[in-house]
Amino acid sequence: MSIETWRLRAITPKDLPFLERLYGSTRALELAQIPWSDAEKAKFVAFQFHAQHTYYQQQFPSARFDLIEVEGQPAGRLYVDRRENEIRLIDIALMPEYRNQGLGSKLLAQLLDESQSTGKPLRIHVEHNNPAMRLYLRLGFVKIEESGIYHLMEHAVP
């Protein structure tokens, strides 16, 4: 598998089963610590995914909700809301087999380039214990606000 051959395309209703699996993969470590059956975990993931998906669609009606494909196969999602005064990275997630190979960095680099060219800061909410926090800090994001378990991070335009 080569992460060099990737593209973005708008999600469709047919992508929902994949997107639910992707969401579940982002919660796997957390759920491994909970003494529920596999069926209970699957029900929880389905409920949480659909709640999040509905929330994103309602709260960000003008956002782009893209599926990331690598060599024609679904690999992740990239949700971006291009606002008047900022570019808001709503969510970026990759399936485990595509993580730590540079694809997330490439996608973020494109958004940072867009931020530079438009003069708009790039912002994202990140859970304080999210492993991607290291990547955001390395790329120059700074914490500008805290809200519960989330940090609003910004990569300002110089």
- Determine contact, residues 153/126, Cβ cutoff 8 Å: yes
Q: Please report the pLDDT score of residue 29 as a whole number.
A: 87
Question: CATH code for 6-155?
Answer: 3.40.630.30
* pLDDT tens per residue across span 117-126: 999 999 999 9
Is the predicted pLDDT of residue 128 greater than 70, yes or no?
Answer: yes
Percent of residues, the chain, with pLDDT higher than 70: 99
Q: What is the pTM of this model?
A: 0.93
* pLDDT tens per residue across span 2-50: 677 899 999 999 999 999 999 999 999 889 999 999 999 999 999 999 9
